[in-house]
Structure 1
Amino acid sequence: MASIWTILLLIISNGFMTYAWYGHLQQSGNDSPLAKWGLAGAILVSWGIAFFEYVFQVPANRIGFEENGGPFNLFQLKIIQEVVSLTVFTLFALFVFKTERLQWNYIAAMICLLLAVFFVFKKW
Structure 2
Amino acid sequence: MPPVPLTAYLLPVLMLLASNVFMTFAWYGHLKFKHSPLLLAVLASWGIAFFEYMLMVPANRLGSSVYSVVQLKTIQEIITLVVFAGFSAWFLGQPLKWNHYAAFVLIVGAAFLMFYDGPAAAAAG
Same fold (TM over 0.5): yes
For residue 53 of structure 1, what is the aligned residue in structure 2?
52
CA distance, structure 2, for counterparts of residue 41 and residue 59 of structure 1: 28
Alignment of 1:1-124 (within 5 A): 1-29=7-35, 35=36, 38-65=37-64, 70-98=65-93, 100-124=94-118
When the two chains are superposed, the root-mean-square deviation of aligned CA atoms in Å is 0.9
**Rg comparison, structure with higher value:** 2
CA distance, structure 2, for counterparts of residue 82 and residue 41 of structure 1: 28
Q: Name stretches of at least 5 consecutive residues in structure 2 with no aligned partner.
A: 1-6, 119-125
Q: Name stretches of at least 5 consecutive residues in structure 1 with no aligned partner.
A: 30-34
CA distance, structure 2, for counterparts of residue 96 and residue 41 of structure 1: 20
- Secondary structure in 2 matching 1:93: helix
Deviations 1:17-71 (A, max 9, x none): 0000000011113xxxxx1xx2111111101110100000001101100xxxx21
Give the fraction of aligned pairs with identical amino acids, expressed as a percent.
Answer: 45
Tell me the amino acid that sits aligned with residue 92 of structure 1.
F
Q: Report the CA distance between 1:15 and its aligned residue.
A: 0.3
Q: How many residues align?
A: 112
Q: Report the CA distance between 1:122 and its aligned residue.
A: 0.5
Tell me the amino acid that sits aligned with residue 87 of structure 2.
F
TM-score normalised by L of structure 1: 0.87
CA distance, structure 1, for counterparts of residue 89 and residue 109 of structure 2: 23
